[in-house]
Structure 1
Amino acid sequence: MNQANVKVSFYLKKSEADVDGNCPVMAKLNIGKYSEAAFSVKMKVPQSRWISGRASGKSVAAKEINNRLDEIRAMALSIYSEQSAVRDGVTAEEVKSILLGMASEQETLLNYFRQFISNFEKRVGVNRTEGSLRAYRNAYNHIESFLKWQYKLSDISFTALDRSFIDKYDLYLRTECHLAPGTVINLTVQLKTIVGEAIADGIITAYPFMGYEPIRPKAVQKYLTDVELQRLMTTPLHKQTLYLVRDMFLFSCFTGISYRDMCSLTKENLSLAEDGTWWIKSARQKTKIEFEIPLLDLPLQIIKKYSDTASDSRLLPMYCNSNMNLYLKEIARICNINRPLVFHAARHTYATEITLSHGVPLETVSKMLGHRQIETTRIYAKVTDNKIDSDTKTLNRKISEHFTVVI
C-alpha cells in the first residue's frame, strides 16, 4: 500500500471544550478503508480560531500549532513508510502506538548498534579485542548499506525486524555483495548478537531469527596430512624468503601458536624446566587466556636458527600476515599441496596431526592452544582415518589380552 492510501487529519473535540471555548485537538489516522485510529495531540485551540483542520490567523501561537501538526503528519507518514517497507498489513493502531511512544520498540536498529559499538570500544584491551571491534563495525556498515539498498531508509525500528527482513539481508549479502557463505554466517551472527542484546534490554520480545538457517560452506580440510607435512619439510625451495616463511609455518605446526601470538613472542616467554625441557609460556592476544607449550625438537632448532635475527628483541622474524599467506601459496605449489595454504592452517595441523593423532588427549590440546572452551578445540582437532585405525588396533589388542573366545 502506498502513502496515497494513508491520510492524517485533525479536528477539534468540541465535547470537551473548556469554559474559555478551547477544544482539544485530535488527530485521525486512516490507512486504507478499514484501519483507523484517533489520538490527542496534547494541544488546545479556540473553536473560533479553527478552520479546515488548521489553526487560523498569523499569530505566533497559530504558527506553532500548525508547525506541530505538520510534524505529526510527517512522522506518521514516515513511520508507516518504514513499517510497510518490510512487512504487509501495517495498521493505524500500530502507527499510532509508535508515534505516541506507547510501544517499547521505538528504538532503532542502527542507533542501538552504534551504542553497542561505543560500549564495546571501552572494553577493548580488557576483555574484547580490536579485531572483534572491526568485525562489528564491518557488520554495521553492511546493515546500513542494506537498509539504503533494500528499503531506501537510513535506519529502521526494531519492530520491523522479522524473518522476512533476515532472509532479505541474507540474500543481499550473497547476491549483491557476493560474499562467501562463511562470511555471511559471520555477519548474521553479529546481527544476532545485537538482537540478543535488544531482547535482554527489553526492547523487543520476538526473535526474528526463528527458523532461519544459513547456507553453510562446504567443509574444507584445514590441516596438513602427515604426507603433506613431510613434503613441506623436505622439498627444496629456490628463495631464502620462502625458507624463512616455511620455517615460521613449521614452528606454528609444531607448537600450535597462532600468527599473532608468534609475532609477540620474546625470549622472556622461554622457560627451562628442571627436567631440561624448554617451554613457551604466554597468553593469547585474542582472549588473554594463558597457555604453556613444551617445545619439541623442531621448534627449538628454528629458534636457534633465527636467534637474534628478529627486530625489537622478538623471538622470531615474522613478515606481515598477508605476505606470509602469499608466500605459503607459492610454497604449496612447489610442494604439490593442492589446496589453498594459509598460516592459520598450521594451528589446525598442530591440533590434528601433531597432537590428537599421536594420542594427546583433547583436554590437553585445548589447554595448550589456549582455548577457553573445549568446544572450540573440536573445531581445530579432527579425528583422522589413521587415528581411527591406530585406536582400533590398540583396542583389538587389549580385548584379545582380556578375553578368550571359543568358537
Structure 2
Amino acid sequence: MKPPKNKQAELSMIYGRLSVNGHTEDLSTQRKCRPADWDKQAGRVKGNKEEARSINAWLDLLYARAHQCRQELYAAGKPFTARQVRKLMQGEELEPSKMLSEVWNYQLNYIIGLIGKDYSKATLEKYQAGYKALKKFLQLKYQTDDLRLDQLDHQFVKDYEYYLKTGHHVQNNTAIQIIKKLRTIVRIAMDFGWLQRDPFIAHRMRATEVHRDYLTGEELARLATKRFSKKLSVVRDLFLFSCYTGLSYADTVKLAATDLVTENGETWIQTHRIKNNNRVRVPLLPPAKLLLQHYAHHPRRPEGKLLPNISNQKANAYLKDITRELGLNKRLTYHCARHTFATTVTLTNGVPLETVGQMLGHRSIKSTQHYARVTDTKVRTDMQPVKKIYTGQALTLVTEAE
C-alpha cells in the first residue's frame, strides 16, 4: 500500500509488485482501503466484511493472472522482464510494431553506406523518390506520413497502386518499379521479424510490354554519314558509339583508357556497368574505334576519359533534332542505342542471344529478351532454306466437288 498524496484522504491505493530476477515493476490494482485495514504481511485486506472479501478476491485474481502471464512468457522460450509481465497483464503490446519509416530509413542508410560497392547513386535516388511518393499517399489516405508495419495489408498495397496511377500520374511499368521498392522494404521487415504477414502475398501486377524504337541497318548508315551542326554531331557520335558497343549513356561517358584492353591484336572494352556493377566485355568494332580516334584530342573530352561528356537530358533533347533532320518517324532516346546494338548490330547478324546478353552486361537472358527484336531481315534470312524446299514443287489443290 502506498500512502496517498493527500494526507487528509482516508483511503490509500493498493499496488501489486512484480519481481523477476531482482528487477521490480509496480502496477495499480485500482482498489483502495483504509491503512488500518491492511495486513502488510498477508498482502490482503483484514476482516470478513463484503468490501474486504471483494477486494481480496480481486487481488487473488490479479495474483493468478500474474503467474499465468509469467508462464506464457516462459513458454515462449525467450528471456522476459517484470515490465513485460505487467504489460501482458494489462493487455499492452510487449513489443510495439515498428514504423514503416524505420525500415525505409534503415534501407536508405544501408544503400548510402554501400554506394560505389553494391549500389549506385541512381539506386539511392530511386528509393528516395519512392519514399517521397509513399509519404504523399499516406498524407492523402491516412493524414500522416508514417504507418505501423502491422497496418500494412493487401488493401493498402492495392490502394497505393491505384494512387500511383491516378494521383501520382505514372504509367503501369513505372508504378511496378515504385511498388517493388516498397516490396523490398516489406521483405526486410519480415526478415528481421518486425512483420509477421506479407501484404504482397496476393498482389499481382503485369508489366506492359514496351516496344522501344531502334535503328535499322539502313537508318544507322544514314545517321553515320549525314552532316550535322557541331553540337548535334557530338551527340550523334556518342549515340553511334553506343549503337556499336551496347554501352548505356552513363557507361559511355565514363569510359577511360584503362577500360580498353588488347588481346591477340584485338581491342576490347572491359568495364563494369554503373547501374549494377555487372562485368561488360565487348570487342571494339571498327566504327567505334574510329570514333575514339576522332575524339582523342577533343577539347570537351574530360581528363582521363575517351569521349566528350554531355548531360543525358541534353543528349536526349538533341536526339529529337537529329531524328527530325533524318526524317525518321521514330521517338529516339539515348537508350535506343542499346536496342539498336542488340537487334540490328548483333542479333540480325547471327550473334546468339546469350552472347548479346553478356556484352550488354545482363545477368539473366530475360533482360536481354526485352532488348532483342527479330527483324524482317532476320526472318527473311532464316526462311530462305524453307523457301528453297518448296520452290518448284508441284502443288495440287483439292477443292470441294461442285
The structure with the larger Rg is 2
Q: Per-residue deviation at 1:272? A: 2.9
Other-structure match for 1:279: 268
CA deviation string 1:69-115 (max 9, x = no partner): xxxxxxxxxxxxxxxxxxxxxxxxxxx9997225x671221221111
Q: What letter is aligned with 1:295?
A: L
**2:248 maps to 1:298:** no
Structure 2 counterpart of 1:47, from 32, 35, 39: 32
CA deviation string 1:173-216 (max 9, x = no partner): 12222122222111111111111222222333332223433464
Q: Does the 8 A contact of 2:244 with 2:285 survive in 1? A: yes
Q: Per-residue deviation at 1:279? A: 1.7
Other-structure match for 1:261: 251
Q: State the TM-score, normalized to the length of structure 2.
A: 0.72
Other-structure match for 2:182: 191
The whole-number CA distance in structure 2 between the counterparts of 1:271 and 1:350 is 21
* Aligned residue pairs, count: 321
The whole-number CA distance in structure 2 between the counterparts of 1:376 and 1:141 is 28
Please, what is the CA RMSD of the aligned residues?
A: 3.0
**2:14 maps to 1:22:** yes
Other-structure match for 1:144: 135
Q: Structure 2 vs 1, CA of residues 394 and 285 (structure 1 numbering), >3 Å: closer, same or farther? A: farther
Counterpart secondary structure, 2:280 = strand
The whole-number CA distance in structure 1 between the counterparts of 2:214 and 2:286 is 21
Q: What letter is aligned with 1:107?
A: K
Unaligned runs of 5+ in 2: 1-11, 18-24, 35-87, 397-402
Other-structure match for 1:101: 93
Other-structure match for 2:172: 181
Other-structure match for 1:222: 213
The whole-number CA distance in structure 2 between the counterparts of 1:233 and 1:328 is 13
Equivalence map 1:147-162=2 (5 Å): 147-162=138-153
Equivalence map 1:3-402=2 (5 Å): 22-23=14-15, 42-44=27-29, 47-48=32-33, 100-102=92-94, 106-214=97-205, 216-217=207-208, 219-237=210-228, 239-274=229-264, 276-309=265-298, 310-394=301-385
The whole-number CA distance in structure 1 between the counterparts of 2:201 and 2:296 is 55
Counterpart secondary structure, 1:174 = helix
Unaligned runs of 5+ in 1: 1-19, 26-39, 50-95
The whole-number CA distance in structure 2 between the counterparts of 1:256 and 1:277 is 18
Q: Does the 8 A contact of 2:133 with 2:168 survive in 1? A: no
Counterpart secondary structure, 1:245 = helix
Q: What letter is aligned with 2:249?
A: Y
Q: State the TM-score, normalized to the length of structure 1.
A: 0.71
Name the % identity: 32
Counterpart secondary structure, 2:134 = helix
The whole-number CA distance in structure 1 between the counterparts of 2:92 and 2:214 is 58
Q: Structure 2 vs 1, CA of residues 173 and 105 (structure 1 numbering), >3 Å: closer, same or farther? A: farther
Q: What letter is aligned with 1:279?
A: W
